[in-house]
Amino acid sequence: MSNHMEEHGNGLYNIRNVFLGMLIGGLAGAAAMILLAPQSGKQTRDQIRLKGIQLRDQVTDTMQNTLAQVRSETQTVKDSVREKAGELKHLGQDQLVKQLDRASAAVKAA
């Protein structure tokens, strides 16, 4: 169970790193574009605006995909916990019945 939880933790850590890398890369690209732009200021501003919109859309898509993945993984963990709880409940009930049978047999023997 701890391995399963570690896998989910590592997955979220990797997703966060990808998102952070995209953000830093986008900012570095924007800075390079401004410094190396061979065009007029208006054209550069229009291009920056367009790139900003594209970056925003990419980040939005990434966040939506990440949230969908987190929801899916959360549901998987929740289902696994419910299954294990059901198994433990059944095992506990079986043990209770065995103990009651032993106690009943002891009472009858006495």
Q: For the chain, give every domain's residue range.
A: 2-81
Please count the CA atoms within 13 angstroms of the CA of 70 that sit on its side-chain side.
12
What digits encode the pLDDT tens for the residues 33-86? 777 767 777 887 888 899 999 999 999 999 999 999 999 999 999 999 999 999
Query: Residue 3: its pLDDT value, please?
Result: 52
Query: How far is residue 58 from each of residues 26, 71, 82, measured CA to CA in Å?
Result: 10, 20, 36
- Distance between CA atoms of 68 and 83, rounded to whole angstroms? 22
Tokens of 106: 């002891």
Give the predicted TM-score (pTM) of the model.
0.45
